[in-house]
Amino acid sequence: MRDKNKKTAGVVTFRNSQGIAVEAVLVNIANNYAVFEVYNSYSIVQLSEELTDIKIFKKDELVYSGKGSVSGILSVGSNSICSVDLVDNNFIYNSDYKNNLEKEINQFLINSEKDFYLKPSFISDVFKIALFFQSVKKFVSKLNLYKQDDFLKNSLNPLIKKGLNCLDIFEKTALKIEPKNIQIYKKFVQKTLHPLLLCSPFIFRTFAKPLGFAGDYEMVNMILREPFEGKNLYAKLINGVFLSSPVAVAHRNRIEIITEKLKDLSKKKAENNKQLQALNIGCGPAKEIEDFIKEKECSELFSFKLLDFNIEALGYAEKVLKKRMEETGKKVNIEFIQKSVREILRSGIKDKKKFFFDFIYCAGLFDYLSDNICKRLIKIFLSRLKPDGELLITNVHKKNPHRYVIEYILEWNLIYRDEEDIIKLIPVNYSKKVYTDFTGGNTFWRLKMFLSKNNNGLYQFYKEEYEAVFLKKIRIFAIFSLIFMLIGLFGKLRK
C-alpha cells in the first residue's frame, strides 16, 4: 500500500500493453530512463513491455510525455520497482529545470568521462562486428541464391557460424560494462548495428514490438518457422543467424518437450478411454497443440483450455487449430479464454463449470514476471490440479549465452532463473524436482501430484478449495431462504 507520508521525486502515470491505466511514484529520472515504484500489485508491468501515454511529473510540473520500454523489475514486498527506457525525446523543461540548467550542464561535464566513457575495446569489437556484416551484405548481393532455399541452408552455413561467433564476441565485451552505463552503450550499439540488422523480420518485430510487448505470438512463430525469411538474401541470412542462437534453439526445444509430455499423458490415459483436462496459461500460437493434433491419434482424448491476454494470439491459435482438425478429421475440444495475469490474480481461473485439470502448463510467461507474482500464480495453478494431475513450468535459464545480445540489440529483457531460483518459488511440502534440458537454456519444474498422508500441502489446497465451494453454496441457499421469508412476511402484512 502506498505510504502517503513518504517523500517522492514525483508521480508517473501510464498505460500498459493491455491498456490499463496505472499510477506510480517516481524514484528517479535521467536523460534516457526513469525509475518508479508501482504500489498496486494488480497493475502488472512485465519486462520488455511497451508502456504508452507516459506522463512524468516533478513538483506538479510535466517533465516527460511519450512511450517507454520496461527494462528492469525488482519486487519489494507487494510492490515493484520498474526501470523504463524512455524512447521518445519528449522532455518538457519546466521552470525549475531551466533555473538549474547551467548547474546540470556543469555536473554532466564533470561526470561525463567517469559515467559515460565508452571503452575503446567495446567500440572496437562493435565496429568489427559491423564491418563483418557490411562485408557479408556486399558479398551476398552478388549471389543469385534467392529462391534456392534448400541449397541456401547448406551453402550459407559457414557465414551463419561466423555470425554466431560475432554474437559470442559481443556477449563477452558487453559483460564488462557496468550496469549504470548500459543505456549509453546500448544506444551506441543500436546506432551502429541496427542499420545492418533490422532487415531481419525477427529482429525488427522483436525490437519494434507492434503489439506492445516482446514474446508475442508471431515472434514465437518466427522462432519455430523456417529461419530463412526476409526480402532478400542478406535479410534471410541475418534472420538465420539470430534464429540459430542458443535462446531460439532452447525455445524450440521447450515446445518439443511439452508436445512429448502431451503424448506421454495420452498414452497413459488411452487405456481408460478417459478425457483429459489440460490448461495452458499464456498459450501464444499453441504450436505444441497443433503438432500434437497432427501426429497423435489419441489427441481427441484431451480437452484444452487456452488462456492468453492477447486477443490476436487467441484468434490466430483458434484459426490454426481448427484448420489442423479439419485436415486430420479430428475433433478436439478446445476453449479459448482471454484473461490477463492481472485478472487471474484477482479472481482466479473462472470457468462456467469449475474444472480441475490433469495437466497445467505455463511455458514462457514466468520469463517476464516477478517472483511474487510467480508464487501467487503457482498457488492458483496448484489449487486447480486433480489429485493425480501434473504441473509444468518453464523459465529461461541464467546461463543464456546471448543475454546481452538480445538486451542490447533487440531490447528483449527477460527474468532469468536457474534451478535455485525456481525452487524459491515452490510452496513448502511440494516436490522440488527442477531440471534443465539438453540446451541448458530452459529451467523446468515438473510436479506430479498424488494424494498421500505425507502430502499435507496438497490436502490443504483441496480442503480450502472444496470448503470455499461448500460455503458459497450455503451463502446462496441462505440468501434465497431470506428472500422467500421476506416475501412471505410482506404478504402477511398486506393482508
* 168-209: pLDDT as tens digits: 999 999 999 988 888 889 989 999 999 999 999 999 999 989
Q: Stretch 406-426: mean pLDDT, rounded?
A: 94
The CATH code of the domain that includes 71 is 2.40.10.220
The predicted structure's pLDDT at residue 487:
77
* 97-148: pLDDT as tens digits: 555 666 667 666 665 554 457 889 999 999 999 999 999 999 988 876 555 5
Determine, yes or no, domain membership for 2.
no
The predicted structure's pLDDT at residue 1:
45
The predicted structure's pLDDT at residue 256:
94
CA distance 72 to 74: 7
The predicted structure's pLDDT at residue 31:
67
pLDDT averaged over every residue in the chain = 84
pLDDT of 359 higher than 90: yes
With a CB cutoff of 8 Å and minimum separation 6, the contacts of 158 are none
Are 223 and 258 found together in one domain? no
Closest CA to 325 of 283, 354, 359, 296: 296
Closest CA to 59 of 89, 92, 32: 92
C-alpha cell at 132: 563483418
Query: Where does 329-370 have alpha helices with state H?
Result: 341-347
* Structural domain total, the chain: 4
Residue with cell 545492418: 196
Determine, yes or no, domain membership for 455.
no
Residue 490: which domain range? 464-495
Q: Stretch 424-434: mean pLDDT, rounded?
A: 88
Determine, yes or no, domain membership for 171.
yes
Are 289 and 345 found together in one domain? yes
The CATH code of the domain that includes 347 is 3.40.50.150
CA distance 466 to 461: 9
pLDDT of 422 higher than 70: yes
Are 14 and 63 found together in one domain? yes
The predicted structure's pLDDT at residue 430:
87
The predicted structure's pLDDT at residue 462:
44
303, β-bridge pairs: 277, 333
Are 88 and 154 found together in one domain? no
The predicted structure's pLDDT at residue 459:
40
pLDDT of 4 higher than 50: no
pLDDT of 453 higher than 50: no
CA distance 52 to 66: 7
Determine, yes or no, domain membership for 4.
no
Q: Among the listed ranges 34-43, 257-266, 366-375, 430-439, which one has the minimum average pLDDT value?
A: 34-43
pLDDT of 19 higher than 60: yes
Are 220 and 279 found together in one domain? no
Are 102 and 163 found together in one domain? no
Are 326 and 342 found together in one domain? yes
Determine, yes or no, domain membership for 457.
no
The predicted structure's pLDDT at residue 150:
60
Determine, yes or no, domain membership for 456.
no
Are 152 and 101 found together in one domain? no
- Confidence class for position 167, pLDDT limits 50, 70, 90: very high
